[in-house]
């Protein structure tokens, strides 16, 4: 009976390890390159879902225990800039009436923040360092309308605007005596969605 | 005894690993949707600072944003069964030709909506609009809608410039972008963008770019040669308020003549991060009602 319980607990233990391994957050979106810097004039409103951007937060770290005892540590913010990412055409409509009419549409897809780092790192630490939740997604938006002239098709394009912060980071590994065994230095970026920019054209 | 010790060690390890997994997992933190102080059931129109420049031959639209707050199931509102919408202006009542609703996001007790009113043919002149009268089932309600100026110009728009891609909406009053193609045989100089917001005339000088990606700037005094197409970016000054609708007037010169052209409408209003922000907005409206 005891052997059975021991085996059960050992299986549970192995599952737990697997669970931690899969949950361990190696990086943000591995396939996403760093956003380009583009000219996005701002109107000055701090309308920033998921938190308010903070000035450099200094060194922030969280200690983890798998694989091996290690500490994820944020370095400094190395650059801040804005970028726009195009989603292309998101809606279109033809007006077959004799006069101008309106095309109604809404944001079809979720918006979200994001991040990436070139070493194994943690989203929690990045969120703390850049001052906003890098895993945030969702929004509350209005219905939008576009005027369409008679016998024309109106096309709607959408660009998402982001604040981007780049940063230095490090993951420090320890042995069981608390001595440093390895230091991985790297860098990364985090982007914070802050507004949509719709444009339209007629054909 | 040995077996009991082994069991204890494994048990402690399981608990420990499960605790650690809590600190390393990638939390998907959703925005707060907690219940907040509920505003009174009703319709809350957002006050805008807006400017519409149009020709008397042009069909104009008047977009209004509102939040319907209900208690439990969606309310049967006066706007959903409305018979008529009238804009109250300093030049008299403007009875709108037709209307349509467009739903945005909704929460457990609210619905964000855009009400689009089609304007009738208006005589040339300037109209100041501050409120909206809704008549439905013998009941009349009046809503404050901010400060709107409608400027109607005589005649038809000139055919000197072809309008391509242009800003339709943005989350803040940032910029108006428009692609313009010179359809004349003379060079055109785009001078400025004009509007009047909150009774304050505003004139904005453009930045010129080769295309709509706005990554390749041109000289500020670049002329639009016959057949050429450039993108003009007008960056707004900082203004009080968060909701704006702008249908601006473009001022340009061709030869010795200065002309103007009414450009398409653009809406500038923020998206909201969560229920709390929506209801904060409703509460800010109800407190100044």
Buried b (16+ CB within 10 A) or exposed e, B154-165: eeebeebbebbb
Sheet with B42-45, edge to edge strand ranges: B42-45, B61-69, B110-118, B98-106
Closest CA to B184 of B168, B162, B166, B156: B162
Residue the block writes with tokens 């660009």: A159
Taking CB atoms and an 8 Å limit, are B167 and A122 in contact across chains? no
The percentage of chain B sitting over the pLDDT mark of 90, rounded to a whole number, equals 49
Percentage of chain A beyond pLDDT 70 is 65
Q: Which residues contact A3 (CB under 8 A, 6 or more apart)?
A: none
ipTM: 0.77
What secondary structure letter does DSSP report for B262?
E
CA B171 to chain centre: 7
CA B6/CA B8 separation, integer angstroms: 5
Please, which pLDDT band fits residue A23 given cuts at 50, 70 and 90?
A: very low
- Which residues make beta-bridge pairs with A37? none
pLDDT tens column, A84-114: 888 888 888 888 888 888 888 776 567 788 8
Give the span between the Cα atoms of B48 and B64, in whole angstroms: 8
Is the Cα torsion angle A163, B171, B52, A155 positive or negative in sign? positive
pLDDT at res. B241: 87
Vertex A187: Cα angle to A185 and A190 (nearest 5): 145
Q: Do A20 and B21 touch (CB under 8 A)?
A: yes
Best of A45, A69, A142, A171 to substitute, by most chain B Cβ atoms within 10 angstroms, is A142
- Is the pLDDT reported for residue B251 higher than 80? yes
Tell me how close the Cα of B139 comes to any Cα of chain A, in angstroms. 27
- With a CB cutoff of 8 Å and minimum separation 6, the contacts of B26 are A23, A25, A122, A123, A135
Kindly report which listed range (A17-26, A168-177, B52-61) carries the lowest average pLDDT score: A17-26
Q: Mind telling me how many Å the CA of B161 is from chain A's nearest CA?
A: 15
Asked if residue A67 has a cis previous peptide bond (ω within 30° of 0), the answer is: yes
Return d(Cα B160, Cα B254) in angstroms, integer: 9
Max Cα distance, chain A (Å) = 85
Which residue would you say has higher pLDDT here, B195 or B285?
B195
Contact by Cβ (8 Å): A173, A70: yes
Least confident range from A91-105, B3-17, B133-147: namely: B3-17
Residue B229 has pLDDT above 60, yes or no: yes
- Return the minimum-mean-pLDDT range out of A2-11, A18-27, B149-158, B235-244: A18-27
Ranked by mean pLDDT, the top range of A51-55, A71-75, B262-266 is B262-266
User: Which residues of chain A lie closer than 8 angstroms to B110, CB-CB?
Assistant: none
Chain A, nearest residue to B234 by Cα: A41
Q: Would you give the end-to-end CA distance of chain A in angstroms?
A: 78
Total-model pTM: 0.74
Coil, strand or helix at A126: helix
- State whether residue B211 sits within 8 Å of chain A by CB: no
**Looking at residues B175-198, what average pLDDT do you find?**
95
Report the alpha-carbon distance of residue B158 to residue B113 in Å, rounded.
Answer: 35
Q: What is the mean pLDDT of residues B194-198?
A: 94
B205 interfacial to chain A (CB closer than 8 Å): no
pLDDT score of B52: 96
- For position A5, what pLDDT does the model report? 66
Q: How confident is the model at residue A15 (pLDDT cuts 50, 70, 90)?
A: very low
Question: Which of A111-120, B14-23, B136-145, B156-165 has the largest mean confidence?
Answer: B156-165
Residue B30: per-residue pLDDT: 41
Higher-confidence position of B271 and B134: B134
Write the residue in B59, B175, B213 that is nearest to A41 by C-beta.
B175
- Confidence band (pLDDT; 50, 70, 90) for B25? very low
Q: What is the mean pLDDT of chain B?
A: 83
- The kind and range of the H/E element at B232 are strand B229-235
Residues A141-200: pLDDT tens digits?
777 888 888 898 999 888 888 889 999 998 888 888 888 898 989 999 999 888 888 999
Report pLDDT for A21.
36
Alpha helices in B142-189 (DSSP H): none
Taking the C-alpha atoms of residue A66 and residue B57, their distance in angstroms, rounded to an integer, is: 71
Which pLDDT score is estimated for B8? Answer: 63
* DSSP code at position B273: S
Percent of chain B residues topping a pLDDT of 70: 82
Most confident of the following: A62-66, B15-19, B196-200? B196-200
Number of other CB atoms surrounding residue B237 within 10 Å: 11
A39 in contact with chain B, both atoms CB, cutoff 8 A:
yes
Angle at B22 between CA B18 and CA B26, to 5 degrees: 130
Q: Which residues pair with B135 in a beta bridge?
A: B84, B140
Residue-averaged pLDDT of chain A? 74
Cβ distance of B271 and A49 shorter than 8 Å? yes
pLDDT at B142 > cutoff 70: yes
Tokens of B132: 């909206």
Alpha-carbon distance of B129 to A200, in angstroms, equals: 27
pLDDT band at A31 (very low <50, low <70, confident <90, very high): very low
Instruction: Provide the 8-state DSSP code for B225.
Output: -
Is the Cβ pair B114, A199 closer than 8 Å? Answer: no
Least confident segment among A74-83, B44-53, B80-89? B80-89
CB-CB contact of A149 with A100 (8 Å): yes
Q: Cβ B13–A201 below 8 Å, yes or no?
A: no
Of B31, B174, B272, the CB nearest to A43: B174
Confidence of residue B38 (pLDDT cuts 50, 70, 90): low
């Amino acid at each position: 009976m005891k052997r059975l319980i021991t085996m059960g607990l050992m299986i549970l233990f192995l599952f737990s390890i697997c669970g931690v391994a899969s949950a361990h957050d190696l990086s943000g979106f591995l396939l996403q390159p760093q956003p380009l810097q583009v000219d996005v004039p701002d109107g000055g409103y701090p309308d920033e879902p998921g938190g308010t951007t903070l000035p450099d937060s200094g060194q922030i770290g969280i200690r983890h225990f798998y694989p091996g005892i290690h500490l994820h540590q944020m370095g400094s913010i190395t650059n801040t800039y804005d970028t726009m990412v195009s989603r292309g055409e998101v809606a279109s409509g033809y007006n077959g009436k004799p006069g101008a009419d309106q095309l109604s549409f809404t944001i079809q897809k979720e918006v979200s923040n994001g991040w990436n780092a070139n070493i194994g790192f943690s989203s929690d630490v990045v969120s703390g360092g850049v001052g906003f939740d890098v895993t945030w997604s969702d929004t509350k938006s209005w219905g939008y309308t576009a005027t369409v002239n008679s016998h024309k098709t109106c096309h709607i394009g959408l660009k998402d605007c982001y604040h981007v912060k780049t940063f230095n980071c490090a993951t420090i590994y320890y042995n069981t005596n608390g001595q440093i065994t390895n230091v991985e230095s790297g860098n990364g970026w985090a982007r914070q969605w802050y507004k949509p920019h719709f444009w339209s054209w007629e054909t | 005894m040995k077996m009991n010790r082994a069991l204890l060690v494994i048990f402690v390890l399981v608990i420990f690993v499960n605790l650690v997994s809590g600190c390393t997992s990638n939390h998907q933190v959703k925005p707060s949707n907690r219940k907040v102080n509920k505003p009174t059931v009703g319709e809350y129109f957002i006050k805008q600072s807006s400017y519409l420049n149009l020709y008397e031959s042009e069909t104009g639209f008047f977009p209004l944003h509102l939040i319907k707050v209900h208690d439990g199931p969606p309310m049967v509102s006066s706007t959903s069964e409305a018979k008529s919408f009238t804009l109250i202006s300093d030049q008299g009542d403007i009875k709108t030709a037709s209307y349509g609703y467009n739903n945005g996001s909704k929460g457990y007790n609210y619905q964000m909506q855009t009400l689009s009113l089609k304007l009738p043919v208006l005589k040339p002149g300037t109209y100041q609009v501050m409120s909206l009268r809704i008549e439905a089932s013998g009941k009349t309600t009046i809503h404050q809608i901010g400060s709107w100026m409608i400027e109607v110009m005589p005649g038809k728009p000139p055919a000197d410039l072809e309008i391509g891609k242009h800003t339709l909406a943005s989350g803040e009053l940032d910029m108006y972008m428009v692609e313009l193609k010179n359809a004349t045989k003379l060079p055109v100089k785009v001078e400025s963008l004009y509007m009047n917001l909150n009774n304050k005339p505003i004139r904005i000088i453009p930045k010129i770019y080769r295309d709509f990606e706005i990554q390749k700037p041109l000289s500020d005094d670049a002329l639009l040669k016959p057949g050429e197409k450039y993108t003009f970016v007008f960056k707004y000054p900082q203004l009080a308020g968060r909701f704006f609708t702008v249908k601006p007037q473009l001022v340009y010169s061709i030869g010795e003549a200065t002309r103007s052209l009414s450009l398409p409408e653009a809406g500038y209003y923020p998206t909201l991060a969560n229920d709390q922000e929506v209801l904060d907005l409703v509460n800010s409206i109800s407190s100044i009602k």
